[in-house]
Amino acid sequence: MAYYCQECGYKSLKWLGRCPECGGWNTFLEEKESSIKPKNKSRISNKPIKVLKLSDIKYEVKPRILTGLSELDLVLGGGFVPGSFILIGGDPGIGKSTLLTQVAGVLAEKGLKIVYLSAEESAEQVKLRVERLGLGDEVLFIGDTELSTIIEELKTIKPDLLIVDSIQTVFLPELESPPGGVSQIRECANLLMRFAKEQEVVTIVVGHITKGGLIAGPKVLEHLVDVVLYLEGEKETGFRILRAVKNRFGPVNEIGVFLMTSKGLVPHSQCEDLFLSGEENAAVFCVIEGTRPLLVEVQSLVAKSFLALPRRTAVGFDPIRLSLLVAILEKKLNFNFSNQDIYVKISGGLKITDPSADMAVAVSLVSSLLEKPLPDKTIFIGEIGLSGEIKPVREIALRLKEAEKKGFKRAFVPERLNLPKHNLSLEIIPCRKLLEVCEKIF
Ligand code: TYD
Ligand code: MG
């Protein structure tokens, strides 16, 4: 017996309160040793090692499988690569099964052979969902959990796509440890990976993330798989963001934006501007997520504080960055926030790390402090330095183009701007200091 960290799979002979590998607290659980031992020694072959020359290797490019869900295809880098092994993680109820049911339904309609393996939901439940989503139901369903026998069956079925919902529920009886434990997950994943590669079946595996750490998170799996996708978002808002954090066949940090509706997940490109409300005290900026520009809104509320230590609260924005911007506004622009509570909120449940949002956050703070509205149809792009200067940002042309496309009329941008020759109809206002921006709009 040994203890395994349920988050990262670290093995220890005694119980530990804190995992030395991943730093998780109270994550150790006792499990049987995981290795499946080879039945006899003769399996270890004495064959010489084959050394290959890359230039001699012939391969044929297999066409990728497009799902028709535009945002998913984008995140994958242009559809599924045959034989790829994909992990999708996310909080319970966020919509993983919904997304995969849609994928299964759409591809089944195109005539592909799909196997949906689910121990979490019954065949009736899955069928009901497929019908509710108005998709084809030519999908094969397996409700079993014993993976080794399932794999044997799958070898005769020969599907094009296998969905395993979820990896925590399948198990190998020879391991003796309970389903969902780290050793089970690792061995099951290994088996599935071999199946995906040998049979060239796109295999998508769902992994739950739990806070309690009792069920293994997908961390252990991330090393094994080709692609790691995370589905995230706030359940209340209906926005879902699909993020590729690892992708052997395409760009990482590409995001797909969906809206959860009664007809399942609808790609953002088919919806209206999700992150813009058009309210007059909201400042608009443009972030680059992966390769795509997204227009996002920030709203601020500055209100007289009755606390000894006024609040600085930010939703979707780094609170340290917020304090920094407030300090710059106080010191360099002589605004007084010292007796004010500050609340900043990014629309749509997005979390912003792009520094180009600085200018928009700063002007929205000033707007709320002075109780003066921001100009209409105006976008603010620029990082703010500690002395209040506006620093250039990358991909400015892409951002301006997106703003123009969405009907914006004016753009405040950094002065040191390497804008290539353009024919934008946008009025571009280069500024060197944050003070200049404020003087122009208030
Ligand atoms: P689900 O895909 O079951 O989540 P997960 O597999 O990640 O745990 O999603 C469940 C939620 O999605 C549930 O609260 C209902 C909602 N939902 C819709 O809003 N519209 C739909 O068409 C479907 C199928 C689900
Ligand atoms: Mg589910």
Percent of the chain with pLDDT over 70: 92
Smallest CA-to-CA distance from 342 within 309, 372, 387, 375 is with 309
Percent of the chain with pLDDT over 90: 50
At 45 the pLDDT is 65
**Helix residue ranges, H only, 275-382:** 319-333, 358-370
Alpha carbons 115 and 205: distance in angstroms, whole number: 12
Task: Tell how strand 340-346 and strand 312-315 pair up.
Answer: parallel
When pLDDT is averaged across residues 390-415 and rounded to a whole number, the result is: 90
The confidence band for 44, taking pLDDT boundaries of 50, 70 and 90, is: low
DSSP letters along 149-195, please? HHHHHHHHH--SEEEEE-TTT-B-GGG-SPTTSHHHHHHHHHHHHHH
When pLDDT is averaged across residues 402-417 and rounded to a whole number, the result is: 88
At 378, list the tokens.
């105006």
Smallest CA-to-CA distance from 311 within 339, 338, 341 is with 341
What are the E-state strand segments in 174-291? 202-208, 227-232, 239-247, 255-261, 264-267, 282-289
d(CA 100, ligand 2 centre) in Å: 9
Identify the nearest ligand to the CA of 120 by its number.
2
Q: Has residue 302 got a pLDDT over 90?
A: yes
pLDDT tens for each residue of 56-107: 888 888 899 999 888 999 899 999 999 999 999 888 888 999 999 999 999 9
At 211 the pLDDT is 56
DSSP letters along 92-116, please? TTSSHHHHHHHHHHHHHHTT--EEE
Alpha carbon nearest to ligand 1 atom 16, residue: 95
Least reliable range by pLDDT among 175-179, 356-360, 383-387: 175-179
When pLDDT is averaged across residues 29-51 and rounded to a whole number, the result is: 67
Taken as a whole, the chain contains a residue count of 442
Pocket test for ligand 1, best of 91, 94, 96, 98 (most atoms within 8 A of CB): 98
pLDDT tens for each residue of 206-220: 988 765 434 455 567
At 12, list the tokens.
């220890």
Q: Has residue 348 got a pLDDT over 60?
A: yes
Let me know: does 283 contact 298? Beta carbons within 8 Å.
yes
- The alpha carbon of residue 57 and the mean position of all alpha carbons in its chain are separated, in whole angstroms, by 35
Least reliable range by pLDDT among 245-249, 286-290, 365-369: 286-290
